[in-house]
Structure 1
Amino acid sequence: MSNLSLSNIPLDWVRAFELAGRTGSFTAAAKESNVTQASISQRISNLERRIGVRLFVRNPRGVTLSVEGEAWLPYVSAAFRNLDESYEDLFGIQREKITIFASASVNELWLAPRLRNWQSTHKPQIVLSTMVLQPDDSLLDTTIRVQYGRGEGKDLHKIPLFAEHLSPVVAPQLLATHASWLELPRLGLSGPRHGWHEWARQTGDPITPIPRLRFDSFSAALSAAVSGAGVLLASLPLAAPLLEQGKLVRASEFVMEPQETYWMIAHKDGLTKSQWDNVVDCLFAAEGSR
């Protein structure tokens, strides 16, 4: 390899190599960088001539990294990643307020208890805003949002709040009045979670009795369950404090484990990585890991 200094190599040549190596083609690299395929090809050819090494093997079906290219790519990718993150931290959006948009239940049962140490260690103000059921497009200006699903989407900071586990819970005094929890009134809950029909499908338990009380808020349904109004098919992570206090008990050992759960999401162009990391570290400190 040539002894020429890296300082003599234009940065856009190296960026073209990183994009093509990471995406697997000159065409994809051109699309990501908003230039032509010919421009990407020319920059990589210039880079190869300058360093005296073939970074890609050209063939009729496309290009593949050479041995040297494959060895260099992880270092180049890491360097650009560090450069992008330091640029964000130094020159990106410096927010005085970070809004977290979530359902009332998630705000009350999961987020609020975990933010107690925020103001003693961080400057931006955290605002918990309640999200009413509405299309995602209405939340585009939100700094951070929490939504139920599989965390799909590109160019996002994202992390699941927890692994979802669903199982029936009931007030112990109500459970004591019947031989089986299956005889007790059931509470209905609107929203994206699996409900009693899915429970019956997975367990073979009867779908009856049909819920006579239905709620559009998990926290309201949880309060009804604590009062002894009926059995609730609950998110165990959200119900954990009440279970630990003995105000609710598990009615069944069976647990449904859907792939969906609550994801905390933010657009990368609206929040720097360090700002995102500060929020994540504060929320997940009690768990000891992310």
Structure 2
Amino acid sequence: MSLPPILWMQAFEAAARTLSFTQAGRELGVTQSAVSQRIRLLEDRLGQALFVRHPRSLSLTPAGQAWLPSIQEAFTRIAEGTAEVFGPHPDAPVTLRATPAVQAGWLATELTHFHRRHCDVTVRLVSAVWPGDFSAEGVDMEIRYGQGDWPDMEAVLLNEEVMLPVCAPGVARQLHKPEDLAGHTLLHAAGFALGWPSWLSLAGVEGLEARCASFICDTQVATLALAARGAGVALTHRRLFEGRDDLVAPFALSMPTDEAFWLVRPRARAPRPACDALWAWLRDVGELD
């Protein structure tokens, strides 16, 4: 069976969702009788009734109930696909997604500088802990942590990354060499390929974590907040530590990592000028670091 005309399916979806031909007509900008006629034509094409017409109301038949989710899913996918390829309205805000730790660190500084130069561009900043679907929130670009191997994505490396211990100045005064970490609390951020055992091994004190207390958080923003309050020593990325005046690095040793921060956007989407402006700004900032 060939697909019915999309206008008929739009009429069905609106009427099935509102259970009102009148309300469906208002949504679609047509009369109640036009909606009713399209539904009749659709039912004739399908060979089954989709609605039960009561004196003052509507209800869906079993066939209508079974078909509605498929129609709604199809319209949602069409809308998402359109946004993926063509993006939102040209005047819509540029939506940038990043983790809370990135937002609270260098990104806040760079967005401030960007806004001063491009005050005509509205930026919408949304939070993400893990990489997500670009269609879910209308996201234009994202700062992700990883190896840059995401399919169908354009990814720009925001400089090579290293990890280093950081803590409050008062705690740092007690730490002169890596062995001094014994007896202190090590703040761990879950979800990263490299952590304290790797840094301690590089520092020549492998296994020292067994002589330390531990505090495990699910984000680096939490470990940095605890470290700033003297609760322990956090192992963090250089980029998240830069620009903070409440944390210091007690040791010069930093640990390279094959994961880093990347500026990411879908390859298939045609970017708007405002998106290109923010993309170029963040890309150039990364290359200068």
TM-score normalised to structure 2 length: 0.58
Match of 1:213 in 2: 215
**1:139 to 1:218, Cα distance in 2 relative to 1, 3 A:** farther
User: 2:30 aligns to what?
Assistant: none
- The 5-angstrom pairing of residues 1-290 of structure 1 reads 93=87, 94=90, 96-119=92-115, 120-121=117-118, 123-133=120-130, 136-137=132-133, 141-177=138-174, 180=177, 181-183=180-182, 184-205=184-205, 206-242=208-244, 245=245, 247-272=246-271, 274-283=273-282, 289=288
Measure how far apart 1:224 and its partner are. Answer: 1.3
Q: Counterparts of 1:203 and 1:121 in 2: how far apart (Å)?
A: 44
Q: Distance in 2 between matches of 1:106 and 1:273?
A: 24
Task: Give the fraction of aligned pairs with identical amino acids, expressed as a percent.
Answer: 23
Once the two structures are TM-superposed, the CA of residue 284 in structure 1 deviates from its matched residue by 5.3
CA-CA distance at 1:254 after TM superposition: 1.7
3-state DSSP of counterpart to 1:129 = strand
Name the CA distance, whole Å, in 2 between partners of 1:97 and 1:200: 44
Of the structure 1 ranges 95-104 and 175-184, higher mean CA displacement relative to structure 2 is found in 175-184
Q: After the TM superposition, which of the residue ranges 161-170 and 177-186 deviates more from structure 2?
A: 177-186
Flag the 1:132–1:250 CA change in 2: closer, same or farther, 3 A: closer
Tell me, in whole angstroms, the C-alpha distance in 2 between the residues paired with 1:212 and 1:192. Answer: 16
Gaps in structure 2 of 5+ consecutive residues: 1-84
Number of aligned pairs?
196
Is the 1:139–1:145 Cα contact (8 Å) retained in structure 2? no
Q: Which residue of structure 1 lines up, in the alignment, with residue 76 of structure 2? A: none
2:99 partner letter = S
Distance 2:97 2:172 in 1: 36
Q: How many angstroms does 1:103 deviate by?
A: 0.8
Deviations 1:127-146 (A, max 9, x none): 1101134x634766522122
SS of the residue aligned with 2:243? helix
Q: Which amino acid aligns with 1:213?
A: F
In structure 2, the CA distance between the partners of 1:253 and 1:139, relative to structure 1 (3 Å rule), is farther
CA distance in 1, matches of 2:277, 2:176: 49
Q: TM-score, normalised by structure 1?
A: 0.58
Corresponding residue number in structure 1 for 2:81: none
SS of residue paired to 1:132: coil
Alpha-carbon contact 1:196-1:233 (below 8 Å) kept: yes
Shift in Å at residue 110 of structure 1? 2.4
Instruction: Show the counterpart of 2:44.
Output: none
Give the conservation status (yes or no) of the 8 Å contact 1:165–1:255: yes
Structure 1 stretches lacking a partner, 5+ long: 1-90
Asked whether the 8 Å contact 1:102–1:130 carries over to 2, the reply is yes
